Amino acid sequence: MQRSAPTLESSGHFMDIDKPTAEVELIFEIASSLITVMDINGTTTYTNQEFMEISGFCREELIGLNHDMYWHSDMPVICRVNLWLTIKCDKPYRSMIKNRCKNGAFFWAESITAPLKENGQTVGYITLHSPPSREYVIDAAALYQELKAGEYKYNQYIQNYYLAAHEQINRPSAP
C-alpha cells in the first residue's frame, strides 16, 4: 500500500499563525520542569500542572489540541519540519521553542522531544521543557527571525524537503 505524501498544511503539523500574540515574555523557574505528551499524530494527551500554569491553558483546552497550536507564530516552519522528521525516525529532537500562552504572551523553553515506546512500537512523544539561558534565548530569537525572513523566499524548497523526507521515512524496508 503506497501512502501519499501530505503537504505541510494537511499534515496536522502546521502552526496556526492567526492566533493572537503579545510581546510579553514569561520566564519560568529553574526548578520547574514542563512536560507535555502527544500521540503519534501530534495531539496532546498529557500536560503537567507547571505547563498549564505558565501557558494559561487548562487541561481541557490542551488535551486533544494539536501540539503545534501552542507554538508561537515567530517559530519558523522549518523548525516544525525538522522536529517531525527527526522524531518520526525514532530519534530525540532538541531545540529552543518559543511557546504561545493563552493570553498571547510567550515563553521560551529549551525542549527535548523523544519517542514513547510500548512493546517496541512508538505510541507517542514526550517533550520536556527546561528554562534556557538568556544567551540561548537571544541567539535563538535572532536565528529564528532570520529564518522567518527567508521563509517565504524558500517556501517551495521547504515543501520539497518535507515531501522528500516523508517519502524516505515511509519507504518500506528491504527484506
Q: What is the CATH number of the domain that holds 115?
A: 3.30.450.20
Cell numbers 523548525: residue: 79
Residue-range definition of the domain harbouring residue 113: 34-159
With respect to residue 125, please indicate whether it lies within any of the assigned structural domains: yes
For 111, the grid coordinates are 525542549
With respect to residue 100, please indicate whether it lies within any of the assigned structural domains: yes
Number of domains in the chain: 1
Question: Of 160, 79, 159, 88, whose CA–CA distance to 124 is shortest?
Answer: 88
> Sorting pLDDT into bands at 50, 70 and 90, what band is 155?
low
With respect to residue 39, please indicate whether it lies within any of the assigned structural domains: yes
The answer to whether 98 and 75 are in contact (CB under 8 A) is: yes
With respect to residue 167, please indicate whether it lies within any of the assigned structural domains: no
With respect to residue 124, please indicate whether it lies within any of the assigned structural domains: yes
With respect to residue 172, please indicate whether it lies within any of the assigned structural domains: no
With respect to residue 119, please indicate whether it lies within any of the assigned structural domains: yes
pLDDT tens digits, 73-99: 888 888 888 898 899 999 999 999 999
Give the pLDDT score at 160. Answer: 67
Which of 30-34, 57-61, 127-131, 171-175 bottoms out in mean pLDDT, i.e. has the lowest? 171-175
* pTM for this model (two decimals): 0.75
Is the four-CA dihedral 66, 70, 76, 82 of positive or negative sign?
negative
Cα of 119 vs its chain's centroid, Å: 25
With respect to residue 28, please indicate whether it lies within any of the assigned structural domains: no
The whole-number average pLDDT for the span 31-59 is 92
Q: Who has greater pLDDT, 172 or 53? A: 53
- CA distance linking residue 134 with residue 68, whole number of Å: 24
